[in-house]
A and B are shown apart, each in its own frame.
Chain A
Amino acid sequence: DTAVSQTPKYLVTQMGNDKSIKCEQNLGHDTMYWYKQDSKKFLKIMFSYNNKELIINETVPNRFSPKSPDKAHLNLHINSLELGDSAVYFCASSQDTGYNSPLHFGNGTRLTVT
């Protein structure tokens, strides 16, 4: 009964490949996010969706494309992977769009690009 689940947990791939990370939440939340955590543990928001609509799109290369088929799912597709994309990617959800809502995080996907 994991609240926010993302797959895969580990992803090792070569430069130039295309890969996807999937995320699902069973909390009934309206808003979902993708965060990137670098090797120094800094967390940076990439995207935010509310009820399947994009509401935040930070400065992220066009190679990253989020897709939300319904409000319980937010997937992240990455084209033409680069070495610098190696990081841990976290999916999260919150009750509403307000920053006053605590975020619930998945356990992360560690992406290694070789």
Chain B
Amino acid sequence: SQQGEEDPQALSIQEGENATMNCSYKTSINNLQWYRQNSGRGLVHLILIRSNEREKHSGRLRVTLDTSKKSSSLLITASRAADTASYFCATGRNNAGNMLTFGGGTRLMVKP
């Protein structure tokens, strides 16, 4: 089974609104990463948050991590049509070698 599970599976919002995507995982982790995938393209790394961090920002992106609840959220503020993509969380564990385990992604559509 997948280590990370994103929620919701699909999200449709209007341009200018905020988009929140959640990720839950099952075992302890050392870090959690978020990636974006545009249609027909490879994944692009967005943010890495370590297990001892609670929040991280990058431009319009804000990631939170709650290790007690084994969950993370990705917030995109003031969304744009160009943010339309699939967003994946990936977890890294030190007893899993250098393997990152990905969830199934949230498909975000931002309508202009």
Binding site for B on A (CB under 8 A): 4, 31, 35, 40-45, 48, 50, 55-56, 58, 90, 92, 94, 96-108
Contacts and interface: CB of A to CB of B under 8 A. Distances in A.
Contacts of A48: 97-99
Given A41-B86, A43-B88, A103 B104 contact: no
Interface residues of B, number: 29
Closest 8 CB pairs of A and B: A99-B92, A105-B42, A102-B45, A43-B102, A97-B98, A105-B43, A107-B42, A41-B105
B61 interface: no
Interface in B14-36: 30-31, 33, 35
Contact of B43 (A50, A94, A101, A103): A103
Contact of B99 (A45, A101, A106): A45
B48 A42 contact: no
A45 B42 contact: no
A104 B45 contact: yes
B100 interface: yes
Nearest to B42: A105
Interface string B34-66: 010000111111001010000000000000000
Contact of B45 (A44, A90, A97, A103): A103
Given A42-B102, A42-B104, A97-B97, A108 B42 contact: yes
Given A41-B104, A102-B45, 6 more contacts: A42-B103, A50-B98, A99-B92, A100-B50, A100-B92, A108-B40
